Structure 1
Amino acid sequence: MFVLFQTVINTGKHYSFRKILNAPLPSCKCLLNRNISDAPKKFITFDEVVAQRRAEAQRSLVVQVNSESSFNELYGYCSRYASINGIHHYKNNGGEHFMLIEFASEDNLKDILRSCGSHHKDLDVMALQSPFLWFRAVANKKEKFTVPETQLINKDGTLPVNEDTLFEQLSHCKTVSDQIQVLYEHTMLNDLGVRLRYMVARQLETIMESLYANMAVRPFGSSVNGFGKMGCDLDLVLTNELTQEMTDPNKRLVYQEKKCEGGRSPWQRHMELMGELIELRVPGATRVQRILNARVPIVKYAHELSGVDCDLCYSNMSGVYMSELLWLYGSLDPRVRPLTFVIRRWAQTVGLTNPHPGRWITNFPLTLMVLFFLQQKTKDGFVLPPLKFMSKIATKDDIRIAEDYVNCTFVRDLNRLPPESYGQSQSNLQTLLLQFFEFYSQFDFQDKAISINEGAPVRKPNNLPLYIVNPIEQALNVSRNVSFEECERLKMEVRNAAWQLESCTEGDRTDDWGLLGLIEKRTTRGLKKLLRVGNSHRLVSVKDLFNEEDTSDKRLSKKSDKESAKVAQTVKVEKKEQKIKFKNTTIANEVYRIRRDKIV
């Protein structure tokens, strides 16, 4: 259930960071204040969520169809063999149509798989079973099916929201808090996106389960930690951990096993094998790349049937536990994820983050910066507890040791957290966003490091420009790649964002009011300001600026036929010679988009 915040914003002529922060608490539909006497909130564990998603994938199929109109025929055909829970529709990057079908049980899925037809005999392929199928058209007259008992759950379920549509919705929000919540709800990874990512993991398990004992392919990263957005990449880890039952010394019959030989590490050789199998045996896998000399060897590939880019590694459980930690923090308070989303979007807009690796900050350190800020104690309390507190109350059931003996022990059941240990701040999203910018505009990056383990600044162990402690492997700096110039630009941008946010929430509403002034590209925002006439806040029509046909017609109507012909010929020559020139293609594209969408 989403929480919407409605705030009352005071207006004034003078700007100061403290004006909004020190204002009395605005009226809200839902206050997030927690008292010690309140009934504890019921949380579900990360393992329960993963088990639920894996169970959904084990009783689901992805079927390629002709279009969304194939729903009735596909439902009628599959309902002959099994009970159907629901069907989702989406299109991949190539515009092909697919439907994800969830059946009532795994036995129903097996019945469907037994009814699948044979492979083409005239194609040079090796037969295999996979949860990705296609719905073949009938050769003769089409069969008649009964009307489905259910409707298609969604159409184009993985299609990201249109940017112009999103900005229009944000402009109609009453408060900045509402804008942040709307941005989060429209850009977060939805249910179908998560289902598809678990289906990709299930496909690898089905194909490779005969190669490893107790094999599992687990998604981790943004796909499962609750901070993923639509279209995010899929990180996968292949594990084949031996259970205590499998290593029981009382069992006298033991499997013969193959030892890894050669100069390279076993992980590199395993990932080299995985790359070959994915390239040869996984339907939909293309553009396979093997990156074997990295600290964690991975295989990158694109999955065309789901439209997802994948990174597969071997036995990297520390990444899974990091995803679990972020998921727990995001579940503690409903403001954590929306605030993180808007800060990530702001960083992308001002160019602090980049889709390609380099000397700039990435989304993961930014997320840790948000969590660290929410751990700070203010006059009205704090939002999140430090990691050391969550590790302190952990029990023996919470003990997790990853590869290289990395300790990943912290409380897994959030219901054991005392109510007074989190969610004490009553600040709404707008106030938290402004406080975030103000906090880091005054933070001592030169001498202090950011650590969510301590929940307070710690002394930097070296002179790197930006130091953010890895919560799992505390000897590592997750921002060690950030250059001095990028760190200075980060400090400058948070100061600018604080002023921008406060100035955009005061006075009359304009096109860059509230959140729009932070997340809209500067080229678009600057062009709109240039097209305004004086202080009227009206935008001059592009037609009025560059098209003189209407005014010319009015002049022609007042002249004689002879004079009109001369004027028309002159205007025609001037238009032919005069061409609109823009500074660059970006501004030109924005002008054409504004003209097309009738923004001005």
Structure 2
Amino acid sequence: MSVLFQTVINTGRLYSLRKTLNASSYCKCVTVRRFSDVPSKFKTFDEVVTQRRQEARRSIVVQVNSDSSFKELYSYCSKYASVSGVHHYKNNAEEHFMLIEFGSEENLKDVLRSCSSHHKDLDVMALQSPFLWFRAVSGKKEILTVPDDKSLLITNGTLPVDEDQLFAELLACETVSDQIQTLYDKTMLNDLGIRLRYMVARQLEIMFDSLYANIAVRPFGSSVNGFGRIGCDLDLVLTNVLTEELSDPEKRLVYQEKKCEGGRSPWQRHMELVGELLELRVPGVTRVQRILHARVPIVKYAHDLAGLDVDLCYSNMSGIYMSELLWLFGSLDPRVRPLTFAVRRWAQTVGLTNPHPGRWITNFPLTLMVLFFLQQKTKDGFVLPSFKYLIRKAEKDDIKLAEDNVNCTFLRDLNKLPTESYAQSSSNLQSLLLQFFEFYSQFDFNDKAISINEGTPVRKPNALPLYIVNPLEQALNVSRNVSYEECERLRTEVRNAAWQLESSSEGSKGDDWGLLGLLERRTTRGLKKLLRVGNSHRLVSVKDLFNEKEDDKQDSLRSKLQRLTKTDKEVDQSVKEMKVAMIKEERKEQKLKFKNSQVANEVYRIRRDKIV
């Protein structure tokens, strides 16, 4: 049962139920179970992480010839242990892999004991790892026995969604709210993607077991905070886990420790060693880069077997607690994550974000902007509480300190939140997206800062163009890199998006209605507009222009165009003139990109021929 209906039952406010039932799109979003929905009982972030780590402890990843190897692999592994499920995926090199989860960790150990060593003629030091490969059978093949109810749970599970297929599904949606939810469902990081990320972390833990007695490798960032998309990078952190067994004062025998000496930070020394081990000992690791002089030293590498780009750092607990905070906010209401995905995708389309670091805004500040907007109290209510409210509700077990004594104390168990403290607004996703653009088109970026701690705008402490407060370290600005030009462009783009969304949602559904008008790149949309005849949303076909008949051989090309434009008389004349003006403006902007007009005309001709 969703949070909305749980709230209605617990508070007895039947008028909220009637009010919500009028919002058909939101009802569909709530009543149809999706991954972003909140269950009747909240799970804590630690419970989710523990579950994923346990799954990784009883799983292996096996390289196979193709997805048709399932029966043979399942039959072989079931000899040694019970198989719970098998997932298939392909890496960037189009190699096939299967992630196999066994019934227990002991089952996995039985399977690993059955593994053979490397080729005898190769001088390779064997390393126990959850990443394996399935050798071809020698001699006569066995008869395969696979139960009828056993099959691959997913095939090619990490393949990103095809853009053309995604746009076709968005075009077929009934409402903008359905479009936003579909975008989230099709691009979110799925179960197999999360499993693979914990398998990469588990692989490092196994390697470090012989070096450290209390080491743990934990994913953080978009991989675990609920806002990750398919193919996102993996952020890992090496942490020291002080177990009760290690900290027992009754035990008199204590491990000797090696103290780090020298001028460089111990973190840099550790990460330098880690980089060497990754290059020499970890299967699948390539392109290792050491960035040791940053504020947080990291090692970047690619994991070819999992098809992931990885950033590994040491003792960055504040990153884990930030991931936990974002996960909690995303779990409070089923509309938070789909709305954030829509805003992020829009920002990528208009060029506000960039995969390379620079003077532009990134996804993390954008996510905080969405959360801040959802904290605003309107006549329809609010969606999320402020962060300081979660801090006030914190209990003794919630007290956490990160490195440099950063206070990361806030309520971890969302079941202890009063139901009236969240999900009070009944606005659907379409209304929330439009309100988001309208809110920031009127926001005073010159004097005000964005702070999810307060839930209301606060005065900027300095003259930086964009100030978004870091929730855990409030003296830091997470958008300090954003330039004045980019901040001004942000203002312009949110105003344009508000106008585009409102105008495209009215009237008939064309090929850029609703969310499509925000997600389609401006250059492509401009070319389509140039080729449209009037406002009929129909591309001119060369065949239509030059297919002469007996009765119109004398007609000129101009008369044919005039005849074709008479298909949309219902369009208002003012709207038509406005679109023509926008087309001319876009053509001017495009031509400025070419110094040679002859080259520009040739490029436009080639693009036009491809679309036609």
Give 1:334's aligned residue.
Answer: 334
Give 1:575's aligned residue.
Answer: none
SS at match of 2:153: coil
Pairwise CA RMSD of aligned residues?
A: 2.6
Which piece of structure 1 moves more, 532-541 or 254-263?
Answer: 532-541
CA distance in 2, matches of 1:187, 1:250: 52
Give 1:115's aligned residue.
Answer: 114
Q: How far has the Cα of 1:537 moved from its partner?
A: 2.4
What letter is aligned with 2:85? G
CA distance in 2, matches of 1:443, 1:207: 50
* Structure 1 residues 75 and 476: alpha-carbon distance in aligned structure 2, compared to 1, 3 A threshold: same
What letter is aligned with 1:176? V
- Correspondences of 1:201-212 after superposition (within 5 Å): 201-212=201-212
CA distance in 2, matches of 1:452, 1:535: 43
* Structure 1 residues 24 and 90: alpha-carbon distance in aligned structure 2, compared to 1, 3 A threshold: closer
What letter is aligned with 1:434? L
CA distance in 1, matches of 2:425, 2:302: 43
CA distance in 2, matches of 1:357, 1:586: 32
CA distance in 1, matches of 2:146, 2:548: 60
- Correspondences of 1:357-506 after superposition (within 5 Å): 357-506=357-506
Q: Which runs of 5+ in 2 are unaligned?
A: 5-19, 31-37, 554-597
What letter is aligned with 1:135? F
SS at match of 1:326: helix
Give 1:63's aligned residue.
Answer: 62
SS at match of 2:200: helix
Q: How far has the Cα of 1:142 moved from its partner?
A: 1.9
CA distance in 2, matches of 1:84, 1:241: 30
What letter is aligned with 1:268? Q
- Residue 49 of structure 1 pairs with residue 48 of structure 2: yes
Is residue 23–residue 427 contact of structure 2 (8 Å, CA) maintained in 1? no
Q: How far has the Cα of 1:125 moved from its partner?
A: 1.8
What letter is aligned with 2:51? Q
Give 2:276's aligned residue.
Answer: 276
Is residue 32–residue 425 contact of structure 1 (8 Å, CA) maintained in 2? no
Q: How far has the Cα of 1:541 moved from its partner?
A: 2.6
Higher relative contact order (CA 8 A, sep 6+): 1
CA distance in 2, matches of 1:502, 1:447: 28
What letter is aligned with 1:376? Q
Q: How far has the Cα of 1:113 moved from its partner?
A: 0.4
Is residue 352–residue 361 contact of structure 1 (8 Å, CA) maintained in 2? yes
CA distance in 1, matches of 2:605, 2:472: 45
Deviations 1:442-480 (A, max 9, x none): 001001100000101111110000000000111110000
- Correspondences of 1:23-34 after superposition (within 5 Å): 26-28=23-25, 30=27
Q: How far has the Cα of 1:508 moved from its partner?
A: 1.3
CA distance in 1, matches of 2:290, 2:42: 39
CA distance in 2, matches of 1:63, 1:528: 46
* Structure 1 residues 63 and 534: alpha-carbon distance in aligned structure 2, compared to 1, 3 A threshold: same
- Correspondences of 1:532-551 after superposition (within 5 Å): 532-541=532-541
Is residue 303–residue 310 contact of structure 1 (8 Å, CA) maintained in 2? yes
Q: How far has the Cα of 1:581 moved from its partner?
A: 7.1
Equivalent pairs counted in the alignment come to 545
Is residue 335–residue 429 contact of structure 2 (8 Å, CA) maintained in 1? yes
CA distance in 2, matches of 1:268, 1:552: 79
* Structure 1 residues 290 and 543: alpha-carbon distance in aligned structure 2, compared to 1, 3 A threshold: farther
CA distance in 2, matches of 1:318, 1:41: 29
Q: How far has the Cα of 1:246 moved from its partner?
A: 2.0
CA distance in 2, matches of 1:456, 1:154: 44
CA distance in 1, matches of 2:487, 2:377: 25
Q: How far has the Cα of 1:29 moved from its partner?
A: 6.3
Is residue 40–residue 415 contact of structure 1 (8 Å, CA) maintained in 2? no
Give 1:100's aligned residue.
Answer: 99
Is residue 59–residue 109 contact of structure 1 (8 Å, CA) maintained in 2? yes
Deviations 1:528-560 (A, max 9, x none): 112212233221236667xx7x7699999xxxx
Give 1:16's aligned residue.
Answer: none
- Correspondences of 1:305-316 after superposition (within 5 Å): 305-316=305-316
Is residue 2–residue 39 contact of structure 2 (8 Å, CA) maintained in 1? no
CA distance in 2, matches of 1:98, 1:31: 36
Q: Which runs of 5+ in 1 are unaligned?
A: 5-22, 34-38, 557-579, 595-599
Is residue 523–residue 586 contact of structure 1 (8 Å, CA) maintained in 2? no
Is residue 91–residue 304 contact of structure 2 (8 Å, CA) maintained in 1? yes
* Structure 1 residues 151 and 32: alpha-carbon distance in aligned structure 2, compared to 1, 3 A threshold: closer
Which piece of structure 1 moves more, 533-542 or 503-512?
Answer: 533-542
What letter is aligned with 2:112? L
SS at match of 2:217: strand
Q: How far has the Cα of 1:53 moved from its partner?
A: 0.4
Q: How far has the Cα of 1:509 moved from its partner?
A: 1.3
What letter is aligned with 2:493? E
Q: How far has the Cα of 1:241 moved from its partner?
A: 3.0
Q: How far has the Cα of 1:31 moved from its partner?
A: 7.9
CA distance in 1, matches of 2:23, 2:249: 65
Give 1:158's aligned residue.
Answer: 158
SS at match of 2:24: coil
What letter is aligned with 1:30? C
* Structure 1 residues 543 and 431: alpha-carbon distance in aligned structure 2, compared to 1, 3 A threshold: same
Is residue 582–residue 588 contact of structure 1 (8 Å, CA) maintained in 2? no
Q: How far has the Cα of 1:143 moved from its partner?
A: 1.8
* Structure 1 residues 249 and 585: alpha-carbon distance in aligned structure 2, compared to 1, 3 A threshold: farther
Is residue 92–residue 305 contact of structure 1 (8 Å, CA) maintained in 2? yes
- Residue 76 of structure 1 pairs with residue 75 of structure 2: yes
- Correspondences of 1:13-24 after superposition (within 5 Å): none
Q: How far has the Cα of 1:41 moved from its partner?
A: 3.8
Share of identical aligned residues, percent?
Answer: 77
What letter is aligned with 1:103? F
Give 1:167's aligned residue.
Answer: 167
SS at match of 1:30: helix
- Correspondences of 1:190-339 after superposition (within 5 Å): 190-339=190-339
Is residue 21–residue 27 contact of structure 2 (8 Å, CA) maintained in 1? no
CA distance in 2, matches of 1:130, 1:465: 49
Q: How far has the Cα of 1:40 moved from its partner?
A: 10
Deviations 1:253-289 (A, max 9, x none): 1111100001000101100000000111110000000
What letter is aligned with 1:73? E
SS at match of 1:216: strand
* Structure 1 residues 399 and 584: alpha-carbon distance in aligned structure 2, compared to 1, 3 A threshold: farther
Deviations 1:549-598 (A, max 9, x none): x7699999xxxxxxxxxxxxxxxxxxxxxxx9765869856853x4xxxx
SS at match of 1:302: strand
Q: How far has the Cα of 1:141 moved from its partner?
A: 2.3
Give 1:91's aligned residue.
Answer: 90
* Structure 1 residues 276 and 40: alpha-carbon distance in aligned structure 2, compared to 1, 3 A threshold: closer
- Residue 145 of structure 1 pairs with residue 162 of structure 2: no
Deviations 1:467-504 (A, max 9, x none): 00000111110000000000000000000000000000
Give 2:123's aligned residue.
Answer: 124
Which piece of structure 1 moves more, 352-361 or 125-134?
Answer: 125-134
CA distance in 2, matches of 1:188, 1:529: 31
What letter is aligned with 2:27? C
SS at match of 1:61: strand
Give 1:528's aligned residue.
Answer: 528
Q: How far has the Cα of 1:227 moved from its partner?
A: 0.1
* Structure 1 residues 2 and 454: alpha-carbon distance in aligned structure 2, compared to 1, 3 A threshold: closer
